[in-house]
Chain A
């Protein structure tokens, strides 16, 4: 996509096709320029800054020179911990939400429940997967917080839940994670055709064998891909964590929040490296998702 502007000069001698080419390019220019201005440049700004020495004052000759210090600084216990916590929370909610979302989708599609429950579940999943951020965090506080409605029952059961803890954050994330799983995995479950089950039963396969050798291999790319997507979904989340814990929980997005509010890290270079680390993890996540989704589409028509 960046190679685009270099093509027209090459075609200069052949006037007619050359001119046509530049005309066609013009059509996507507004979109590309907009993306450049409001997505690519801001990201590049952070990327470039993450390799600059900004720890010293602007008058120092070393200011702005190339360095890898910023990335080395990510191994500071506080920052490394924030990455580990983010990854842990994302993994737990992706796998937990993935498994439960799959079971739920399977229940309404294949489990013999009344049909209207299926459309009810789909509607609620659309709402719940978009109901996030501040209102979701507040809802959990009113339900499980210090003066929450369910808190007396939890205490009566001999349990306790600190609303500022990782567990509470994971419970809140699950509220949008499993509905997202339902939405994305439902078409894949629909794609499991009855013929396949009948064919394997006719050949004497048990239910376990049908799942082990037929259904699971077909569903696996979709399942893995969606779980990876859920991972990214939780990893980039900021508003829910901020509102639920008041910014106290140590995850990457909270580190960047503190940085932006100006109450942490006096070296901006480390902040840029922190952000680029997130972009790298998200990039790997989405690439893996896209790859698995392409494999999964073979079985869906």
Chain B
């Protein structure tokens, strides 16, 4: 816009003729803003350095291995790298599916039939913030090692516990995303319309509600994926062959490869967030609290 000859001199004045007549207030206002913005540039520069220096340091460190990029080659060739990444990715997908199946009907039902229950359900979905992952896995291990359900004793049982724990961690993001999505559509009218056309509850949920929630579900899903794929605490104590424990393992055993894996992991987070930003442009996510520090 500023490039066009019309708005070039007074970019702010295009919409109003009056402001072109009184250009004076623009001039004194601009000078202090210029001085002040120097301070803000410095603040931004500090933030920029804080963000990039550790990444740069990691990259430089990974380049110390000879020949160049050999650390990356070693990592990519390591079968455990692909296996653990695949495992974590799979767990992430299953988590998202289970979480969606639990959250969407619940949020829908609460909005339609049990609005009085809403604050309580919202409270429950916020509980994972009160109970950090280390406490959650502590309790899960103690509750499910013993007799009625000795899940932690078997491989399959531990996988179930891992997915269950991640589903719990995803509740705040998924519920918030779905609830925001439901607010934007007229749940009651859609329900009545599809039921008067003879749709069952299942058809209603799968063919009407789900498609309407696609954007919000995707944003919740990518956030969940970003958290789950690198998660360390729960996966370690359940002794799962996940990506987080794998990074820690080679971090203790090798010299330059951990730097390469760290950067790859950073790239994966970036991709997940980039996709989140792409799809979430309309529905702005209000809270993004990572639960896997």
Binding site for B on A (CB under 8 A): 1, 24-25, 27-28, 30-32, 34-35, 37-39, 41-43, 45-46, 49, 100, 103-104, 106-108, 111-113, 117, 121-124, 126-136, 138-140, 142-144, 148-150, 173-176, 178-180, 183-184, 187, 229, 232-240, 242-243, 253, 256-257, 259-260, 271, 275, 278-279, 282-283, 286, 290
Contact = CB atoms under 8 A, between A and B. Distances in A.
Decide if the interface of chain B is mainly helix, strand, loop or mixed.
helix
A45 B293 contact: no
B247 A45 contact: no
B258 A138 contact: yes
Contact of B141 (A113, A143, A235, A260): A260
Contact of A135 (B103, B265, B273, B287): B265
A171 to B, nearest CB: 9
Given A35-B168, A39-B128, A126-B273, A229 B247 contact: no
Contact of B289 (A30, A34, A233): A233
Decide if the interface of chain A is mainly helix, strand, loop or mixed.
helix
Contacts of B284: 187
Interface of B: 33-34, 36-37, 39-41, 43-44, 46-47, 50-51, 53-58, 60-62, 102-103, 105-106, 109-110, 113-114, 117, 120-121, 123-124, 126-144, 161, 164-165, 167-168, 171, 223, 226-227, 230-233, 237, 244, 247-248, 251, 258-259, 261-262, 265-266, 269-270, 272-274, 276-277, 284, 286-290, 292-293
A142 B288 contact: no
B61 A149 contact: yes
Given A103-B43, A239-B293, A260 B106 contact: no
Nearest to A149: B57
A131 to B, nearest CB: 5
Given A31-B106, A45-B142, A126-B273, A283 B55 contact: no
A39 B57 CA distance: 40
Nearest to B144: A42
17 contacts: A35-B124, A38-B165, A39-B124, A132-B290, A133-B292, A133-B293, A135-B247, A138-B251, A138-B262, A149-B56, A184-B287, A236-B134, A238-B293, A239-B231, A240-B293, A260-B138, A278-B135
B134 A134 contact: no
Nearest to B277: A123
A26 B248 CA distance: 43
Contacts of B58: 138-139, 142-143
